[in-house]
Amino acid sequence: MALSFRLPPLMREVPPSMRRTFALKLEPGMAESMVRRGESPGDIELAAFNAFLWTALLALPLALSSLFLLPYPYTMLFIGLFIAPLLLPMLVLAGPSKRFAAEQRSYLIDTPVVIGAMGMSMNRSASLERAVEMGSRSGNGALQSSLASVAWKALTGEVQDLRRGLSAWTTGLGACNEGLRRSLQLVMAAEEEGGEEGRHRLLDRANSLALEWTREVCERYVGSLSFPVMLVFSFGVLAPVMLFSLVPLMGMEAGTASFALDLRSLALLLLVLVPAFTLGYIRSMAGRNPLRTEAKAPVHRGPWMFLAFLSAPAAALGMLLTGSLPLAAIAALAILLAALIASGGRAKKTDRDREASFVDGLYRLGNAMLGGQDLDAAFEEVARTEQGAFRSWALRMVHSLRTDRVSLARAVRDDPELREWSPVLYQNYVAVMECAEEDHRGAGKLAVNLAQSLGDLTRTKQKVRENLRPVVDMMSATSVVFAPAIIGLTSGIMGLIGGDTSGIMALAAVYVVELALMVNYFLVSLDEGRGDRGGYRSYGTRGALALGAFLIASLCGQTLLFRLL
């Protein structure tokens, strides 16, 4: 079960008077998806009700305490604590819908694979049962699992026959999978087509429709990014920087040069609230990316992690030895950024070159099988002639084929490296290998079509970068250069005014690094579909540049401005 409410349940069932309030709204197709994940509406509703009871017991007393005991503005915590018993059950009830939406988006990437495998099987023999079986064996994604579930229901008699079960399942597909629905209808129509020429024409149309719809959905997502990106830039980057530039005016009491800023409130706003809301919006925007994959790149643990854990003790030791809060904060940040840089990671250009090599290998493999070679011979020939990252991976698969006495399809399916690095390429290669066991020429045609689809997705990623380049470049430059420079000069102005500015300096140093890390997460999420691919070196590099710009600007503000004024 995907959801688990870890605290012990206070109630074993939802009271009848509250069932309507905590009722789970089921969308078409959601019930089947929940059954495959081992969830039930009753368990979700009971978990939401117990979440309400626990948050009410814990949050309401704290809300009343904050209202009557804490000074303003901390009394505002009352609002957040008061709405917690209402918000958490809503999140629990929305969980199945979000998981269903994510599963629907994952169907899009697997649609060309599944439709191509089903079309190859249907070309070989006009049997919908064999086509569904081949489609369900073309990978291990959510779409293949759903087709296997439909076939199992038809086999066990839960539905009258496979055709009706498949038609009923397509009615639960979301709007983003309209191309999958139409392609499946064409595949089912091809079974009833009497002539071989007519069946081939319907199957070719199903394949082209799957490819066109995937490209169209990705282009729609690209067109919808302009306003969200501008919103992140305006409120997540520019607004806090403008607030920092007004700190000298806010910190001055009427006509005096003594600072009366509430640093705890300022730190709560700039270091917690603004980044939290910005990151939440970034994650929601990246979650709608049809190119997003759920698999995560592995985190390679090493000495750099131990170095990162030393940042907090270093800050405490620096504060103890020097008594300077800014020096302690800078020392901790320097150790953390050095650890991130030492973690390593692939460059984006290297990743793109590696992906292009695998796509070219898929093209060559398909053309070799269309030329009459079987899978093993074609794969070995491509492995020895293709250059780039594909060559080393393919030669390793050939070595496994000879030494482990397993089929090439099994060797590719069991390979963790390709599966973790690129789930999309992994699914495509697995589908081609599985189909080649039935029909080499059909698998060759499928490989060429899938390589064409991957090329379309690559061009879509490039279009994302090209369309958003002005705003993205401005955001990147602001986080690394302009924002640290402005905040550093502001610190110099505060030094000229007078007063204890050590707290502001420490807060500013932490903020510029946090801003750089947040912008880097946004750029990586926008470019790759998830924010952790390629290691953490880019985070450390960007944070170090921002911290360096801030320190240089602070020194200039404390020396050059003093001489000018």
| Residue that has been written with the tokens 């779409």 in this structure | 143
pLDDT at 530: 47
149 or 307, higher pLDDT = 149
pLDDT at 425: 84
- Residues 12-44 have pLDDT tens digits of 788 887 778 888 888 777 777 787 777 888 888
CB contact at 8 A, 212 and 451: no
Backbone angles phi, psi at 259, to 5 degrees: -85, 130
Burial of 474 (0-12, 13-18, 19+ CB in 10 A): middle
Lowest mean pLDDT among 94-108, 201-215, 291-305, 478-492: 291-305
Query: CA–CA separation, 435 vs 428, rounded Å?
Result: 11
- Residues 240-256 have pLDDT tens digits of 888 777 766 655 544 44
Which residues have CB under 8 Å from 491's CB, separation 6+? 501, 504, 505, 508, 553, 554, 557, 558
116-141 exposure pattern, b = at least 16 Cβ within 10 A, e = fewer? bbbbbbbbbebebbebbbbbbbbbeb
| Residue that has been written with the tokens 């020895």 in this structure | 384
Residue 411 has pLDDT above 50, yes or no: yes
C-alpha to C-alpha distances, 282 to 6, 151, 218, 451, 526, nearest whole angstrom: 28, 38, 18, 30, 9
Q: What percent of the chain has pLDDT over 70?
A: 81
Tell me which amino acid residue 23 is.
A
The arithmetic mean of pLDDT across residues 390-419, rounded, is 82
pLDDT at 297: 46
Q: DSSP labels for 413-436?
A: HT-HHHHHH-HHHHHHHHHHHHHH
CB contact at 8 A, 272 and 215: no
CB contact at 8 A, 116 and 207: yes
pTM for this prediction? 0.74
pLDDT at 66: 66
Helix (H, G, I), strand (E, B) or coil at 259: strand
Residue 513 has pLDDT above 80, yes or no: yes
Which of 84-88, 166-170, 302-306: highest mean pLDDT? Answer: 166-170
The arithmetic mean of pLDDT across residues 42-68, rounded, is 79
C-alpha to C-alpha distances, 147 to 101, 115, 326, nearest whole angstrom: 17, 11, 59
Which ranges of 171-310 would DSSP assign to H, the alpha helix? 178-192, 196-223, 226-231, 239-245, 247-251, 263-267, 274-287, 303-309
Strand partners, 252: 259
pLDDT at 76: 63
Residue 54 has pLDDT above 50, yes or no: yes
pLDDT at 560: 62
Please state, as a whole number, how many other Cβ atoms lie within 10 Å of the Cβ of residue 7: 11
pLDDT at 296: 47
- Residues 303-330 have pLDDT tens digits of 555 555 666 666 666 666 766 777 888 8
CB contact at 8 A, 535 and 346: yes
Strand partners, 303: none
CB contact at 8 A, 516 and 490: no
